[in-house]
Amino acid sequence: MSKKKKTRSESNVRDQSAAATALPVELVADDIGAVKPPPLGTVTPERDYVWLGCSAFITVIAAFLRFFMLDLKPFHHDEGVNGFFLKTLFKDGIYKYDPANYHGPTLYYISVAFAKVFGLNTISVRASMAIFGVLMVVLVLYLRRYIGRVGALTAALFVALSPGMVFISRYFIHEIFFVFLSIAVFLSVMLFIEKRKAGPGAIAWMSVLLFTGLAPFALTLSKFIGGTNEGALFAFRIAFFLGAAAGAYYFVRRLLQWDEGRPIYLLLASASVALFFATKETAFITLGTMAIACVSVWIWKWIRENRTFENNLSGIMLAVHAAVVLAILYKSDTVGDAGKWLSDTFLPQSKPAETFVFYSIIFLLIGAIVAWIMFLGDIKKANQSHLAEPVELTWQNFRRGLGENREFILIIAAMATTFIYVSVVFFTSFFTYPEGIKKAFEAYAIWTKTGNKDHTQSGMVGYLKWGMKVEAPIMILSVLGGLVALLRGKHRFAMFISFCALGIFMAYSIIPYKTPWLALSFLLPMCIAAGYGIGELFESKNRNLKAAAAALAVVGSALLAYQTYQHNFVRYDDEDMTYVYAHTRRGFLDMIREIERYADKSGKGKDAVIEIVSPDYWPMTWYMNDYKANFHGSLVDASTSEMVVAKKNDQDTAMIQRYSPHYKMAGVYPLRPGVNLVLLVRNDLADPKDVDVNKVLEYKPIPGYTQ
């Protein structure tokens, strides 16, 4: 009898092994190449070294583009303002959230940690944001099981190469961390639904959040006990910070014992939502769109699986495409204007033509249409990819994961506590500014007024024009990917991300207030949708679709790489470039270097006194951090200060009257488009090349520099 049982068991193992061999790699392999524990008796696949190699290569590209020559372009006006608050926090430990003019507090507390370790300088503070630009690429790779191997690699490559993603990652502003949090939110929820055991990344992020949450108590206790004695204060800080680290370790250990740490993903999602709101007030737009996208997926899934729809699919597709053609014919003037805009933008008569960009966009437009037609012709055949999501992303599965009774109450309470605590910690500046909680609610009334101002005069098509000008591969291929996802109708995440991309794009297009960096909120889901579309076409058994997908991916990546190079390393202060938004001109750094040279020449070095009388001076405050610079914003009397910085044109006459007896003009330098600054140096410090102040009236702007 035991012999029969043994034989049956061996037979079961053989059957399970054969079934496992037939499974697609995506159903067994982990997100970034690691292998998940397989069911008993299954054949374990080998680590996907090709996948790991490609993932590493893309991550290296992303890191290089974001960190190489990080101080190349001068600070933007907004970076200068952020740097002012950071400097106060760094030196005095004071920050108070003010929603009237500025965004949330997370930027400053993340950056101050980098500044404490690497110093208060341009590279360190920009690196504090650039790292999240790289981590965003890594998180996209975790979507492998939902958009396929090729899809995830393509999406990650598009994020890595996107001119806007790179440009803003190299900025010391809130946006890149804000967009990083958006993917952190939905990825955490997906991993929770998937019943995933907490991995190293989740554990590390949870540990950082727990330590950050306990740090205020360490600071408060050390200050209370140590008092004004610096030695005692330092010792107590070390002791209490070690205690905070031990506390974080203890909490993480306890969380890992709770359903193998699976609830950590929901706590991370809750913390990410809190950080989302503590970063920018526009968080409600992204989160609201995500909620609408979930409902939209449910509705479309019901429509797509309806037997009547399936039986009449060919007729429906024919009718839809006929309607599109009729609409194009009806709006032929608009289509003609769009073509003319494209030609005028890239093949202008008065400027050097961007032939490569123009014909690449034309290729992508035609190629995407051809690929879509081939896809339609192939939809009824058994040529589709074998991509199958590891779990159905439904409300029922999410609710089931929350458990019942005591477990349900416990996890909801943990989520609520996490959200409230993280929000309070940051908005109250680590419990030092209670008014910050009230200010957090006031922000939305203020933002509503700001959102109704169209200060760029770009209208509803602003983001469409900006996107086609510099992110065309992502814009075009995301439409293709979204259509593929909807017509396939079986991959919930692909449909969700497509609806998100469309929804956020429409929301920001409708809102009058527009700035280029806001586009990143919809560019991220567009990259993912585009990657999914390329992956689905490439994984098809149809060789023509494979070739079309490869051609679109190669040309799209090449175009993004070229425009990223131009945007970030060549024309980073050229107003014709989309993301260059009232940016500080590179010649401004020439003035900063001259100030440093004259300060050294004076023998005082950092103690040299500089009077900034120009009403326009941001981001000069950042570069004068270590100097005795006085920012007046209007003319003042000066005769002994080593240098004076005034505004060209507006202050020319008054400048001559006040400063000509004691100063020489060292030069005129650009600040930003339409604003130039004049550097005056005291007579005894002036070089032979420096001229009398009255020569300012004879100055002729230099094309491409001060003009």
Residues 98, 606 contacting (CB under 8 angstroms): no
Q: Alpha carbon of 40 to those of 20, 21, 46, 96, 259: distances in Å?
A: 10, 13, 17, 57, 20
Who has greater pLDDT, 383 or 669? 669
* pLDDT of 7 higher than 50: no
Q: What phi and psi, each to the nearest 5 degrees, are found at residue 680? A: -110, 140
* pLDDT of 25 higher than 70: no
Domain ranges of the chain: 1-46, 296-387+467-502+529-568, 588-698
Select, from the ranges 314-328, 343-357, 467-481, the one with the highest average predicted confidence (pLDDT): 467-481
User: 21-30, 68-77, 340-349 — which is least confidently predicted?
Assistant: 21-30
Going across the sheet that includes 691-692, the strands are 628-631, 609-612, 643-647, 675-682, 663-672, 691-692
The pLDDT, as a whole number, for residue 218 is: 72
pLDDT tens for 80-99 read 999 999 999 998 888 899 88
* pLDDT of 461 higher than 50: yes
pLDDT tens for 475-529 read 999 999 999 999 998 899 999 999 999 999 999 999 888 889 999 999 999 999 9
Strand partners, 303: none
Who has greater pLDDT, 348 or 157? 157
Calpha distance 24→488 (Å, rounded): 18
Calpha distance 229→265 (Å, rounded): 42
* Number of neighbours of residue 644 by Cβ within 10 angstroms: 29
Q: Which residue has the tokens 């958006």?
A: 182
Mean pLDDT in residue range 643-658: 95
Residues 513, 458 contacting (CB under 8 angstroms): no
Say what percent of the chain tops pLDDT 90. Answer: 62
**pTM exceeds 0.75, yes or no:** yes
Q: Alpha carbon of 141 to those of 35, 55, 273, 501: distances in Å?
A: 15, 7, 21, 18
Which of the four pLDDT bands, split at 50, 70 and 90, describes residue 256?
Answer: confident
pLDDT tens for 100-137 read 767 899 999 999 989 988 999 999 999 999 999 999 99
Of 429, 557, 675, whose CA–CA distance to 65 is shortest? 557
Say what percent of the chain tops pLDDT 70. Answer: 90
Dihedral sign of CA atoms 462, 468, 471, 477 in order: positive
Dihedral sign of CA atoms 419, 420, 426, 427 in order: positive
Q: What length is written for the chain? A: 707
Residues 281, 440 contacting (CB under 8 angstroms): no
Query: Which 8-state DSSP code applies to residue 571?
Result: S
Q: Alpha carbon of 453 to those of 280, 378, 459: distances in Å?
A: 18, 47, 11
